[in-house]
A and B are shown apart, each in its own frame.
Chain A
Amino acid sequence: MSIIKVKNLAVELDGVEVLSDISFDIEAGDYVGLAGPNGAGKTTLIKAILGLLPITKGEVVILDEKINNFKNWNKIGYLPQKIQAYNPLFPATVKEVVLTGLNSTKKFPKRFETKDYLKVQNILKLLTIENLSNRLVNSLSGGQQQRVFLARALVSEPKILILDEPSTALDPMSRQNFFDIVADLNKNQGITVLLITHDIVHVGHYANKLLYIDRKEIYYGKFSEFCQSKDMGKAFGGDTQHIICHQHH
């Protein structure tokens, strides 16, 4: 079953077309690695899919709803690339930040109840950061902060998890740990994952599909087919294709 459908998508920023001819279907349970060179439009694509940027052509349908009319935001967990939490003055605790992930489940006037606090506690426990609950987010390390924002994305029990370069600020150990958690959520809880990464080699270890763009779609399909494709071998160079596919099982 298609969970995200993108058809002939094009996006303009300040009158310049930055993305065109993007079409792909993501099935429930997929783990899709979205890769491409710097400036390829990966973040722009994610923002357009989420309705944060206007689409100039084409359409995006998530869970059978067009993005313009989309209401089920609690079904989407999003971990953006740049988090405003680096505002060193903002006095938000881990608990306060993770609770904002439940806003999508509330109606006006939004009030959090005991069961919401329990959900927060459970997700913090799952990510092994329950001891940080009352700490200020800004006092945490990069790896801990990333887990907090992952907890915020997961607390509403989403069906889709969209991650924009989540490993940028992490040391190798935290990065490995982070990817293991995401892979586990995909494998054992059936959460569909769309992960932007510049580290195409690393994502090959987890993802079953690859979406490679460079202002337009270059490749979308199974990782295994990408690795066997002679066309892709020509496009990327045989050695590069081999390196990309090296980690994929």
Chain B
Amino acid sequence: MELLSIFQYTFIQKAFIAGAFTAMLCAALGMFLVLRKMSLIGDGLSHISFGAVAIGLLFGIYPLYAAIPVAILGVYFINYLAGKTKLYGDAAIGIVSSVGIASGVIIASLANGFNVDLFSYLFGSILAISTLEAGLAVILSVIVLAVVFLFYNDLFSATYEEEFAKISGIKVGRINAILLSLTAISVVLAVKVVGVMLVSALLVLPSVTALQLGKSFRFSLFLSVVVAVLSVFVGITISFFLDLPSGATVVMVLFTIFLLSLLKKKLIK
């Protein structure tokens, strides 16, 4: 009964709703990213978002509004560096990632006064999410999930084998651009849930957990979403009762489920 009592708090309701939607879309996109060996892109984008949030706070712009376009630009810059300048993809992510954090730190030190706000973006503050932020998370999540649904077959084909997708008439460049843009939006939303430092976990852990147990791609995708949403619910609940940081607790729940999936796979073998 005490467990259910947490639903009476409005801030918990908002946290559950925003967290569940964000987790859903991170898990869905994460599956495509992990299978394309692009797991680290979430890390890079979240660090860019950190810089953008600092700029937003400095100029009094709502941080998420500043972070979304900057993250989208960032993802294309990573793509440009990796494609045109022939840098390795992880090196391109490393460069953009460090520049994002560095610019955030410099701006924060120039403008003393919003360090507390910035800190909440570093480690997430889902329990302090505003109604506007929760609403934005739901709307953007629904849009992103609808796009994934509409392009599901193209995304699957281009992820499985790019060359074959091209000669199936799929505009692979366009599909990749859609995936990258959706990832940028999702990362910005996830920054509020688990924080800059832990965004990758929300993209990667549900997917790799599902990959241990999946019997088909469609089922793995579904499982990944279930694991992510469940972890957000369990993580927030634990963090509430034990007075722990919510973002970090969600990540530890995800990690525990991942370990269990490894164990189950081993037992099946």
**Cβ contact within 8 Å between A89 and B35:** yes
- The 7 closest A-B CB pairs, nearest first, are A91-B214, A73-B169, A103-B168, A110-B153, A100-B157, A104-B168, A84-B161
Interface string of B145-189 (1 = CB under 8 A from A): 000001111101100111111111110000000000000000000
A87 to B217, CA, bound (A): 13
Minimal Cβ-Cβ distance residue in B for A92: B217
Q: Which of B157, B166, B170, B217 makes the CB contact (< 8 A) with A91?
A: B217
A172 within 8 A of B: no
Q: Which of A52, A90, A96, A152 contacts B163 (CB 8 A)?
A: A52
Contacts of B46 in A (CB 8 A): none
* Any B CB within 8 A of the CB of A154: no
Residues facing B in A74-106 (CB within 8 A) are 74, 76, 78, 80, 83-85, 87, 89-93, 95-97, 99-101, 103-104, 106
Complex CA gap A84/B220 in Å reads 18
CA A85 to CA B160, docked complex, whole Å: 7
Question: Are A71's CB and B169's CB within 8 A?
Answer: yes
Bound-state Cα–Cα, A87 to B156, Å:
14
Known A-B contacts A73-B167, A93-B216; the reply to A100 vs B211 at CB < 8 A is: no
Q: Contact check, B164 vs A78: say whether CB atoms are below 8 A apart.
A: yes
CB distance A87 to B35 under 8 Å?
A: yes
Whether B167 and A96, one on each chain, are in contact in the complex, defined by CB atoms closer than 8 angstroms, is no
Within 8 Å of chain A (Cβ to Cβ): is B215? yes
**Is the Cβ of A90 less than 8 Å from the Cβ of B35?**
yes
Task: List the A residue with the shortest CB-CB distance to B218.
Answer: A96
Task: List 17 additional A-B contacts (Cβ < 8 Å) besides A85-B160, A96-B216, A96-B217.
Answer: A51-B167, A52-B166, A71-B169, A74-B169, A76-B167, A78-B167, A80-B161, A80-B164, A84-B161, A89-B35, A92-B156, A99-B153, A100-B157, A103-B165, A103-B169, A103-B170, A111-B153
Query: B122 → chain A, closest Cβ, in Å?
Result: 31
B211 touches A89 (CB 8 A): yes
How far, in angstroms, from A95 to B218 measured CA to CA in the complex?
11
| Residues of chain B at the chain A interface (Cβ within 8 Å) | 34-35, 150-154, 156-157, 160-170, 210-211, 214-220
Bound-complex Cα distance A152 to B167 (A) = 12
Q: A136 on the interface (CB 8 Å rule)?
A: yes
Q: Which of B150, B157, B161, B165 is close to A83, meaning CB atoms less than 8 Å apart? A: B161
Residue interface bits A107-123, CB-to-B below 8 A is 1, else 0: 01111100000000000
The closest CB in chain B to the CB of A78 belongs to B167
Q: In the complex the two chains form, is B160's CB within 8 Å of A90's CB?
A: yes
Residues of B within 8 A of A2 (CB): none
Do residues B165 and A91 form an inter-chain contact, with CB atoms below 8 A? no
Question: CB of A50 within 8 A of chain B?
Answer: yes
Q: How many positions in chain A have a CB within 8 Å of any CB in the partner chain?
A: 35
Indicate if A134 sits at the interface (CB-CB under 8 A). yes
- Residues on the B chain within 8 Å of A136, using CB: 215-216
Which residue in chain B gives the minimum CB-CB distance to A101?
Answer: B168
- Give chain B residues whose Cβ lies under 8 Å from the Cβ of A73: 167-169
Of chain A, the residue at the smallest CB distance from B213 is: A91
Contacts of A103 in B (CB 8 A): 153-154, 157, 165, 168-170
Bound-complex Cα distance A73 to B168 (A): 6
- Per the bound structure, the CA–CA distance linking A36 and B217 in Å amounts to 39
Inter-chain contacts of B169 with A (CB < 8 A): 71, 73-74, 103-104
Interface residues of A in 1-54 (CB under 8 A from B): 50-52
Say yes or no: A100-B156 contact (C-beta < 8 A), given A85-B161, A108-B150, A134-B216.
yes
- A76: chain B residues at CB < 8 Å are 167
The answer on a CB contact under 8 Å between A91 and B211 is: yes
Task: Give the Cβ gap from B135 to chain A, nearest Cβ, in Å.
Answer: 27
A-side contacts of B163, CB under 8 Å: 52, 80
Residues in B with CB closer than 8 Å to A134 are: 215-216
B154 neighbours in A (Cβ, 8 Å): 103, 110
B167 close to A84 (CB less than 8 A): no
Shortest Cβ distance from residue B211 to the other chain A in the assembled complex, whole angstroms: 5
Contact A93 B35 (CB under 8 A): no
Return chain A residues, CB-CB under 8 Å to B216.
Answer: 91-93, 95-96, 134, 136
Contacts of B210 in A (CB 8 A): 91
Q: How far is the CA of A103 from the CA of B168 in the complex (A)?
A: 6
Within the complex, the shortest CB–CB distance from A93 to chain B, in Å, comes to: 4
Complex contact B150–A109 (CB within 8 A): yes
Closest residue of chain A to B31 (Cβ to Cβ) is A91
Assembly CA distance A152 to B170 (angstroms): 15
A100 to B217, CA, bound (A): 13
The CA of A74 and the CA of B167, in the complex, are separated in Å by 9
Q: Which residues of A contact B218 (CB under 8 A)?
A: 96
CB contact list, A216-238 vs B, under 8 A: none
Known contacts A52-B166, A93-B217; A106/B153 CB under 8 A: yes
